[in-house]
Chains A and B, each alone.
Chain A
C-alpha cells in the first residue's frame, strides 16, 4: 500500500489537480457535496455527503443543444461539452456502485448517452473505504462491501494519522506517481467496525414482488408521502429527467433537468390521461422500480443502501420498512 501523511494531502491534491478538476467532499451552501478542490478548502470526512456525486455525471440541469428560430427557419446548434479530465476523490463504495448502475442506464441497452459518457469516461474514482456504518446505511443488504469498489481507480483508506492508497486500475496507479506523492510501505487496510443500523431482506427479490403489484398493501403504504421528490433527487441511482426549452426571442436551448416519478405530472399525457394518477401508483412505482424493475432490466438493484432518502424524507417513508413489509407479505402469501 502507499501511504501519505494526512498533512500532505493538500499538496498531493494540488499536484493531482494540475490539468484536471479534482472533486472533494466539503461543506458548501449549507450542504455537504463534492466540490472542485482548491487550496485552503476544508474537507468533510465525517459522513457520506448529503448530495451524492451523481450530479458530476448527470448535472441537475444540462444543455442538450441550442437553436435559433427566425420566421419559419430553424437552426440546431450542437454543443460540445468538452471533456476535461476529472477525479472524484473520496466517494464511498455505495456511490461508486451507484455510478456503476448509472453507467448501465446511460451507456447500455441500445443507446449511449453521449453527454453522460463524455463526463464519465474522463473521470477517475478514488473511493474511500468506510470504517463504520453511517446512521442509515444498509449497503450490505445488497451484497456490497463497504470497504471496496470494483470500479474504483484507487482505494483510499483512513489509517488515522495517514491516508492509505491502493491502485485498482492502471489510471489509478498513475495518480500515485506524483512528485509530492505517497510512498510505498507495508500497511494494513483498517478493519470495518460496527453493526449496520438498517437491513433489507432481499431473498424474495425481485421475483417475489411480481404478484405484489395489485396487492392492497400499497393502499396504506403510500399515504404519508407528500410527493416532494426529495428521495429521488438525493438518490444516487435515480436517473429520471425531463427535457425543457429555455427560449428568449429567436433563440434558446433545450436542456434536461432532474425529474421525479413522485411528481403528479410525470406521466401526465397531453390529452389528459395519466397512468399513475395518484400517489399510490407513484410510490408503488418508485419502490418496485428499485426492488423489482431495475433488477429485472439491469440485473442490479436500483438502491445501494446509502440511506440518504431514509435520512431526508420529511415523513420517514423508509425504503427499508417498505421493503421489509413487502417481504413479510410475500412470506405470508
Chain B
C-alpha cells in the first residue's frame, strides 16, 4: 500500500545563509539522500511539527540537499529563522507543476524578480545555467526595496553575470551611501531596458503589486500572454488537491500551479 502522502520525512538543517535581515536560506539534508528530486519551480511542505507547516518553493538543490529561501512572515517562519544548524524539520513533496521547461527550451529567457520572488526563479536559473545549450540568451532583471534586501548576492553579483550569454540587471527602490547601481522600481527598469519580445519567454515572480505592473509593462512591450510565465501564492494545507483550500475557480494552485502562463490566468477568475 503506498505511503500516506501527507506524512513528512525528517530532514536536518545543515547550513543556514542569512540573505537579508528577513530572509534566510536553509540547506536541508536527509539520511539516505534526498527523498525526491524536484523540478525547477516545484514546492515542498516544510514543518516544525510543534509549530506548523508551510509551503515553500525549493530555491535550489544539491546532490544531497534541498534549499529553501524563507522570508520571516508568520509563526512558522519566525521559528525557522531562530533555528540553528542541526535542527531537524519535516519535509514532504515535491508539489506543483514547476516551470514549463518545454515552453522555455530553445528560447531566450527573461527573468523578472522582486524581493524574495527570486527564490523560485533561482531554481529555474540554476537549471538553465546547468543545461546552458538548451536555452538562448538569459537576462535577469531583479530588484528589492534596498541593497540590504537583495537575496542571493553572491550569485547575482559575482556568478551569474559571468555565465555565457547571460546578463543581470539589478535595481533597488531606494539606494544607500554605497549603492552604485540602478535605482528605481522593477517595472520601470524593465520598460527602460525594453527587452525585445521576439523568441523570448519571460518568467516573473515577486510581490503582487510588482507582478501587476510588470504584466502591464510586458503587455505594452507586446509580449504574448502565452509567453509570460508567473507563479501564484495561495494558502495551502495539503498540497495534494484534497483540502480544497487553494482553489482559483476550478484550478488548484497546489496541483495545477503554482506556475501559470498569463494566458492560463486570463481564463481563471481573478481571485488571487
> Which residues of A approach B to under 8 Å, CB–CB?
64-65, 67, 69, 72-76, 78, 105-106, 109-115, 118, 213, 239-243, 245, 247, 252, 254, 256, 259, 261, 266-271, 273, 275-276, 281, 285, 288-289, 292-294, 296-297
Contacts and interface: CB of A to CB of B under 8 A. Distances in A.
Nearest to B71: A271
Contact of B88 (A74, A115, A267): A74
A268 B235 contact: yes
A75 B10 contact: yes
Going nearest first, the 3 A-B pairs with the smallest beta carbon separation are: A270-B74, A74-B88, A240-B244
A295 to B, nearest CB: 8
A269 B9 contact: no
Contacts of A271: 73-74
Contact of B53 (A69, A243, A292): A243
28 contacts: A67-B49, A67-B50, A67-B90, A69-B48, A69-B50, A72-B86, A74-B90, A106-B242, A111-B242, A112-B2, A114-B2, A115-B6, A213-B269, A239-B242, A245-B50, A254-B47, A254-B53, A269-B234, A270-B54, A270-B73, A271-B74, A273-B208, A275-B234, A285-B247, A288-B249, A289-B247, A293-B249, A296-B249
Given A109-B255, A241-B238, A245-B50, A76 B4 contact: no
A283 to B, nearest CB: 13
Size range of the chain B interface in the assembly:
35 or more
Contact of A292 (B5, B51, B250): B250
Contacts of B77: 270
A293 B250 contact: yes
A278 to B, nearest CB: 12
B89 interface: yes
B164 interface: no
Nearest to A272: B73
B87 interface: yes
A269 B52 contact: no
Given A72-B87, A275-B272, A296-B250, A110 B241 contact: yes
B53 A293 contact: no
B224 interface: no
Contacts of B8: 65, 76
